[in-house]
Structure 1
Amino acid sequence: MALNHLGEKIKRIRLERGMTLKILAEKTGFSISFLSQLERGKSSATLESLKKISIAFGVNPSYLFEEERVGEDQSFIFEQRMDAHQIYYKDLGAMVSPRDFAPLYVVLKPGQIEGNLITHKGQEFLYVIEGILTVRLEDNIYELNPTESIMLDSTRPHYWYNYTNQEVRLLCVSSEVKGE
């Protein structure tokens, strides 16, 4: 997915929800300037910024990567990726809408260590397929190896990182964030 496509999608969702850049800035903690540049494709996003924006919109982060669906057959899996930001999502549940939870296949590139703790409504279940995933939950640090998992209350401050020089592949099942 092109950087500009992501920015256009963020702007479209923001306008659909009747939000100004100022309102989105207040909900995310980002500056109006940053959000404007992101929408115009002049700035890049981190996993953290995409999560905060999706929370402000009341959608799962994978929604920002979804391509518009054409036709009636939605029984196949859609892939979403954004190489410019070293984030890869594959929404494994895109064929069902509305839904109560979102199963995502996520790849964290080596050294993906940026991001501050976040909170949002719901729960997350993380299952490591490959690599070593570092999960911070408040003041606790967990290192998960392949076939290990953790389930957490997303209202508690948390974030996940890849401190290694290899990709981390994981399954993230999160409850859908409902709009307020």
Structure 2
Amino acid sequence: MAHQIGESLKRLRREQKKTLKQIAEKTGLSISFLSQVERLKSSVTIESLTKIAESLNVSPTYFFNDHDQPKSVIRRKKPNDQVDFQQSRFSYQSLAGDIPNPDFEPMLVTVLPNQEQVHTFTHNGQEFIYVLSGVLTVMYEEEEVDLTPGDSFHVESSKPHNWYNRTDDVVKMVYVRSHSFE
């Protein structure tokens, strides 16, 4: 997955004739971090990927899709695919088809256990989470709530929010993000 994200980032950035410095200025991320992502030396969180995508005027799912294989029906090869987390605490699997710049982006997210509390952030659009397994802690403005299987969370992303797994078990969830390009 990190391989695909890094290659897609580099290809898209070059297609748009943008430098790492320009992306860094728009996102608040460092040039060295962006370079490491492109060179597959660092993983990227959904928060950072969202900033990068917005700076390039694409959906974050752009980085998960195989642009050579258009598709509308997505089939998992195996129901229990192994997840390669590398240096990240998360694994994202796009559930989107081949619609360019979609209005929303569905993903299957797996979150490793024992994560330290994270900081809230904001971006354009809305987010929806449906917990499949485990206990996910969500932060919205000043509130912190634990979600269990069957619980959901739907927020305006322009308000401070984030989520993490502070338990000893893996969390699986469906994550849907809407957005608007401004």
Per the alignment, do residues 55 and 112 of structure 1 end up closer, same or farther by CA in structure 2, a change over 3 Å counting?
A: farther
CA shift, 1:171, in A, is 1.4
Structure 1 residue 178 and structure 2 residue 180: aligned?
yes
- Structure 2 residues without counterparts, runs of 5 or longer: 77-82
Alignment partner, residue 67 of structure 2: 68
Per the alignment, do residues 157 and 173 of structure 1 end up closer, same or farther by CA in structure 2, a change over 3 Å counting?
A: same
TM (norm. structure 1) is 0.83
**2:125 alignment partner AA:** G
Kindly indicate whether the alpha-carbon contact (under 8 Å) linking 2:6 and 2:37 is maintained by their aligned counterparts in 1: yes
Task: Spell out structure 1 runs of 4+ moving beyond 3 A.
Answer: 95-98, 112-115
TM (norm. structure 2) is 0.82
Alignment partner, residue 37 of structure 1: 36
Count residues in correspondence: 176
**Cα separation, 1, equivalents of 2:124 and 2:68:** 27
> Which among 114, 120, 126 is matched to residue 117 of structure 1?
120
**Cα separation, 1, equivalents of 2:4 and 2:147:** 33
**Cα separation, 2, equivalents of 1:115 and 1:59:** 25
Question: What is the DSSP-based 3-state SS (H/G/I as helix, E as strand, rest coil) of the residue aligned with 1:45?
Answer: coil
- Structure 1 residues without counterparts, runs of 5 or longer: none
CA RMSD in angstroms, aligned pairs only? 2.4
> Which among 131, 139, 147 is matched to residue 144 of structure 1?
147
Alignment partner, residue 80 of structure 2: none
**1:54 alignment partner AA:** A
